[in-house]
Amino acid sequence: MFIFEKRTQIPVCIKNRNPHLASIILSQYGGPNGELSASLQYLSQRFTMPDNKGKALLTDIGTEELAHLEIIGSIVGQLTDGEGARSFDKYGNGSYYVDHGSAVFPVNAAGQTWNAAYIQAMGDPIADLVNNMAAEQKARATYDNILRLSDDPDVNEVIKFLREREVVHFQRFGDTILTKLSRLNAKNAHVFQKQARIL
């Protein structure tokens, strides 16, 4: 289960209002490589991860991604706080405003709604973990792109933290894969035995 704590993982304090930048950041809320995708991918995969160590890692990283989803939502919410229809329209986001007002809605930067096809869960530990390493790098690259597009120092400070966390998660998934691969030749290669039982 999950317990909510009434704070973000790190402080989010954005002074400027900028609906255009908000629409770019929003891709990490409801886009293909965003925090919603990451959290649902890991938290879904853990149901079929054969070992408890793997389940713990997927749960812990998936939970941190939920905290990051909240941070992204907070950035977007602050960037658009108090901004009305004219401001959205001036920044080129009138088409978003007409359907969602100033709400934080899970779409990518081009306005397409979040889609489960963004995520992967194969029920195969190696396939899933390799997918997760790719997911972390894609998220890291997206944050790099955001940093290239954004010149708001308050936003960038938070984005740099989130980018760094993707690198840490990548390393953790990598360590887990190395451990699993090192056991593939052992008689208790549980990863494949588990698959064989399912088949």
Partner 1 sequence: MANNMNRRPSGNFGNMHNNMHTMPNTTRNSNNNGSNGNNDASCEELLHAIMEADFFAQDLKLYLDTHPDDTRAVEMFREAVKQTAACRAAFEDSFYPLTAASAGMNGTWDWPEGVWPPFN
The residue (of 53 and 90) whose beta carbon lies closer to partner 1 is 53
The residue (of 129 and 146) whose beta carbon lies closer to partner 1 is 129
> Using CB atoms within 10 A of its CB, is residue 93 exposed (0-12), middle (13-18) or buried (19+)?
buried
Q: How far apart are CA 1 and CA 100, in angstroms?
A: 30
Question: Minimum CB separation from partner 1 for residue 2, in Å?
Answer: 11
Question: Minimum CB separation from partner 1 for residue 123, in Å?
Answer: 21
The residue (of 76 and 109) whose beta carbon lies closer to partner 1 is 76
Question: Minimum CB separation from partner 1 for residue 39, in Å?
Answer: 15
On whether the CB atoms of residues 192 and 124 are closer than 8 A, the answer is no
Q: Quick one: tokens of 198?
A: 């399912």
The residue (of 60 and 89) whose beta carbon lies closer to partner 1 is 60
Q: How far apart are CA 88 and CA 198, in angstroms?
A: 52
Q: Quick one: tokens of 87?
A: 């401001």
Question: Minimum CB separation from partner 1 for residue 29, in Å?
Answer: 11
Full DSSP string of 2-48: ----SS-SS-----S--HHHHHHHTHHHHSTTSHHHHHHHHHHHGGG
Binding site for partner 1 (CB under 8 A): 3-12, 53, 56-57, 60-61, 64, 70, 73-78, 81, 104, 168-169, 172, 175-176, 179
Question: Minimum CB separation from partner 1 for residue 56, in Å?
Answer: 5
The residue (of 25 and 118) whose beta carbon lies closer to partner 1 is 25
